[in-house]
Structure 1
């Protein structure tokens, strides 16, 4: 599962007016899933049982969601898919940091609470640089979680399955990964065993839901009623048991217990380099590596209002599609408020965010902007999270080396 959906196959379905008809007049509700998601098998089973319980004929569409362009699928494109190609999307991921509220879609209650976890192999012992390496899927919440840890080497893979494989093969000591990917990998490789722990990040907690077009309120109510019935009689728990987070982890999170860190401090020497940077470009099987270091200044960054305004314009053209026009999060996480930078997050720094952004964003053309343009976008993010502009312009060098914790406050 990833916030960027551009790797998912396109659906080739006929356009009809069915989405605008009463559902009792439709021969069958068309249910789309995300074939690229590790939870597709679960999503299809839950959908079939839910619509059977609701007494609604349904057809599972295996072709998936229509492709967007290279930087993901926008809310507009998903709205269009639901209006013409599908009546329902099963397995839609929602989170406090990316709840897709900026679109026209309606959502059911969640049928699976899952999230991003840290895994370590119980079969393989890592050596050398792998001892200090964490695997994560590129341009996904896993990478956002991983970059919050200082002093580690990141193996950025193209899929969540490859992130798990990096641990199984001994290339990485740990991986930050969508938990259903661990389940799917274990099904395909039953000889592999992993220890699982939670991750202390606002990007970790997700729910799978059904998504509907804006005209689907009646269907939404029927699905919610069916899910309630399946919860009451135990069928939903039976369907999702294998895919649910480990009981000990769920209990700890429910009780708001402290979450374990997913990687201890570095145990092997590493070069002291400020911020985050790409170190080696790899292939789809070897991943890409970035170095995260805590060697940075403690200067409070200063920016002026004019560059924040310029950053707002740059954000609108290069970032808003995935992160939302109001920074609320769409297929990418929110970039304002406590969901983005809570006071409890000790590792989210101005330098870390700037380095990640300048190296990896926009997702379709990482690093395409000038350094000063990235600094102006950073100024806009600071302003949007309650920081007060001054008279000195924020430079790329000052942003990159700032160790100031980014803590969201009231927006101006």
Structure 2
């Protein structure tokens, strides 16, 4: 997942430490960034300016958060990093669906809105297959957004840069990608231009912040004051101008619209279909659309407990111990199971999960384990246990829209 909290690569790392505002009388605050994030250059520049404005001595530690892998960085890992290697993390992304609220960190106000966008290459000549292809970064919010689009083949890429390149090279008609990745790609390849539209999804909206550990938490009000002052005098806008979502994205809707109950009839005929790189080769497609109704699938109380244990070991790292979302979206609440008009079905969610998750070993768990996790997710969203065991087959076959259960 090449979200800013994932795919933390060595490329782009500068010196081990860069002095921002040295002070002979006080130890400098140590600031970490995510070296592989597309926004790392901006995060460093904003950190330098904001801490200087707050008159706080600071040192940027590029090795504070080391190499990451594609299944994310857990809250416990980040808490340990803030206790051991640095005091503040610059460029921490937060959203209403993944706010990292379950850890010990405290967060500043945001300094940049950095959402997910749909990008296309104007005037591109595409082969027939590419015209139906949408590129997205594997196991990221981009993939969840792309899933919502009708009748497409999903080209899953390992990095945000290769996701943008799929459009630049004509392999895909469009890409769903984090906007800083588009900016970084254009910096490296100024010959390319893109049409950009804000993705229409609850998973699309993110804001970059400073995350503070316990040792530096007392400095948070000063940083917020500095950010407010820099916003008021235009300095923050000048720093972030190149990275700011284009104004037209506020009024342009991408094709990643939700399906509501009014579209049930058409979706029952066509469905929303996707294929990951392996599934496409094997001829397997995954339906995730709201295709109708039906009774909630039954699951046993024992499955909830087992599913909770499996979730803690295989899912919580990205989705949060309380299902609140960390580096992946929340799996509880209105963004996942709205009160009405859900755009996903129980069967769609289960099939997606059993094919693509966990991110570090997709599809490698036992069918019954996936079913038990699904039972835990259903119970966490208001559904009650019954007398019949939930199986992979019954979960996969469910056409029930995933609205919040009566317990919520």
CA RMSD of aligned residues (A): 3.2
| Corresponding residue for residue 214 of structure 1 | 214
Q: In the alignment, which residue of structure 1 is the partner of 2:49? A: 49
Does the Cα contact within 8 Å between 2:5 and 2:34 map onto a contact in 1?
Answer: no
Rounded to whole Å, the distance in 1 between the matches of 2:135 and 2:35 is 22
Matches within 5 A, 1:276-287: 278=276, 280=278
Deviation, 1:308, is 2.6
Instruction: Please list, as runs of the form range in 1=range in 2, the aligned pairs for 1:152-231 lying within 5 A after superposition.
Output: 152-231=152-231
Q: The residue matched to 1:205 in structure 2 has which SS? A: coil
Which position in structure 1 is the counterpart of 2:8?
A: 7
Cα offset, 1:96, TM superposition: 0.9
Give the Cα–Cα distance (whole angstroms) in 1 for the partners of residues 187 and 15 of structure 2: 31
Shift of 1:277: 5.7
- Gaps (5+ residues) in structure 2? 17-22, 260-269
Question: SS where residue 143 of structure 1 aligns?
Answer: helix
Q: Give the TM-score normalised by the residue count of structure 1.
A: 0.85
Matched, 1:261 2:255: yes
Distance 1:278 1:124, change over 3 A: closer
- Structure 1 Cα separation of the partners of residues 48 and 4 of structure 2: 25
Pick closer, same or farther for the CA change 1:12–1:372 going to 2, 3 Å.
farther
Answer with 85-94 or 121-130: which moved more: 121-130
Structure 1 residues 50, 344: CA separation in 2 closer, same or farther (over 3 Å shift)?
Answer: farther
Partner of 1:112: 112
Q: Normalising by structure 2, what TM-score?
A: 0.86
User: CA–CA distance in 1 between the matches of 2:180 and 2:69?
Assistant: 26
Q: Hey, what does 1:385 align to over in structure 2?
A: 381
For the Cα contact (< 8 Å) 1:54–1:226, is it kept in 2? yes
| Equivalent residues of 2:307, 2:372 under 8 A apart | yes
* Secondary structure of the corresponding residue to residue 391 of structure 1: coil
With over 3 angstroms needed to count, the CA separation of the structure-2 counterparts of 1:9 and 1:139, relative to structure 1, is: same
The answer as to whether partners of 1:88 and 1:213 remain within 8 angstroms in 2 is yes
Q: Which segment is superposed worse, 103-112 or 191-200?
A: 191-200
Q: Find out whether 1:302 has 2:300 as its counterpart.
A: no
Q: Measure how far apart 1:301 and its partner are.
A: 3.8
Alignment of 1:76-87 (within 5 A): 76-87=76-87
Tell me by how many angstroms 1:205 deviates. 0.5
Shift of 1:390: 3.0
Does the C-alpha gap of structure 1 residues 50 and 400 become closer, same or farther in structure 2, counting only changes over 3 Å? same
Unaligned stretches of 5+ residues in structure 1: 15-22, 253-257, 266-271
Q: Note the 1:116-135 alignment, pairs <5 A.
A: 116-135=116-135
In structure 2, the partner of 1:320 is 316
Secondary structure of residue in 1 paired with 2:210: strand
Give the aligned partner of residue 137 of structure 2.
Answer: 137
